[in-house]
Structure 1
Amino acid sequence: MSEPQATKPFSIESVPWEEWSKGARFGSRVRRIGKFGGASHVGVLIEELLPGKQSCPLHYHAEEEEQMMILAGEATLRLGDERYKVKAGDYVVFPAGQKLGHCLINESDAVCRFLMIGESKPNDVCVYPDSNKVLVPQTGEIYVKSETRDYWYGEDIGG
């Protein structure tokens, strides 16, 4: 098996924008600069969030750490039940296993540009508190949480 090769320097401007949206609430445009450069263990994105849009559903990861730096503009960071105004130069770390969902909402009248850095771990599980879902990326399955159960729930433990 051959060893990975280092990527030659490239201009971020040479990385194409990818636009996406879901309904009126969610959407952005993204440059996947890590993937463009050949990264497979750490994802690095530059994302632009238009006014009135939310970056993604509120979520947290069991195994993956994410980090974010606001490059231009401002937005509202939802972190659990709290809201924080973030602006250019602000940095936030979302540790793996921290049970506080996070997302960005652009409530301003200008584009918010930010850098997003995250691990790519095959055994991660992602929880979505607002919609009561759990995503298992390895299988692509999404489960709806009904209620928390004891470990032995439903098992015939005898006698």
Structure 2
Amino acid sequence: MARPECIKHWQEIQGADDSRYPGSAELMSIGSPFGRSFGLKRIGIHHEVLPPGRRTSWPHAEKTEEEFAYVIEGTPDVWLDGHLHRLAPGDGVGFATGTGLAHTFINNTETDVRLLVVGECFRADNQVIYPLHPARNAAIGSQYWSDAPQDPLGPHDGLPDKLRQSNGPF
């Protein structure tokens, strides 16, 4: 009997290695969109491969969308408001709505990191803030979270070590 469509391996649905922000040459993580593949409408579920020297996104915070990330493999850093925290397999990180906690996951190691990321699908009432990318905030128009709570940012610039050392692309 053939496997039903509700069963997928992450490698079957993995997207191309071309995820980047508009106007940026920086490659981000490589995703396998389980939720979309299964036709789920309310939750997004992604398996993310984060190669050495990359990050999952530009540091950002969401107004109304909840998110959770679980480390399957590797030891990434999570960037939280300018501070790095090393993670290990089995660690989970949750982002509640409305906190303004800006975040991204960075791979400063020499091996791939694998993450399981779960969150709400696109919400029309959601807004986002990119505390280190004012041009991105301007570009997203009404999706910009202009009144987000903001704690002072710590000393880390949000870049993977390899990207900073190579002086680009940003």
Tell me which interval the TM-score lies in, with the shorter structure as reference length: 0.7 to 0.9
Please tell me whether the aligned partners of residues 127 and 145 of structure 2 are also in contact (alpha carbons under 8 angstroms).
no
Quote how far apart the aligned CAs of 1:82 are.
1.8
Q: Which runs of 4+ in 1 moved over 3 A?
A: 21-26, 133-137, 140-145
Counterpart residue identity of residue 94, structure 1: F
- 1:5-44 equivalences under 5 Å are 9-13=6-10, 15-18=12-15, 19-22=17-20, 25-44=26-45
CA offsets 1:35-60 (integer angstroms, 9 cap, x no match): 10111111000000000011100001
**Match in the other structure for 2:132:** 130
Pairwise CA distance, 1:100:
1.4
State the TM-score, normalizing by the size of structure 2. 0.71
Kindly indicate whether the alpha-carbon contact (under 8 Å) linking 2:127 and 2:143 is maintained by their aligned counterparts in 1: no
Mapped partners of 1:110, 1:50: distance in 2: 7
Separation in 1, partners of 2:107, 2:57:
11
**Secondary structure at the counterpart of residue 54 of structure 2:** coil
Higher strand share: 1
The structure showing larger relative contact order (alpha-carbon pairs under 8 Å, at least 6 residues apart) is 2
Structure showing greater radius of gyration is 1
Match of 1:84, SS state, is strand
Letter in 1 for 2:102: G
Deviation at 1:141, TM superposition (A): 5.3
Within 5 A, what are the aligned runs for 1:7-156?
9-13=6-10, 15-18=12-15, 19-22=17-20, 25-120=26-121, 121-132=123-134, 133-134=136-137
Give the number of equivalent residue pairs: 137
Aligned to 2:156: none
* Distance change in 2, residues 1:52/1:41 (3 Å): same
Q: How many angstroms apart in 1 are the aligned matches of 2:139 and 2:98? A: 15
Aligned-residue Cα RMSD (Å) equals 2.5
Q: TM-score, normalised by structure 1?
A: 0.76
Identity of aligned pairs, percent?
24
After superposition, the Cα gap between the structure-2 partners of 1:100 and 1:13, relative to the gap in structure 1 and judged at 3 Å, is closer
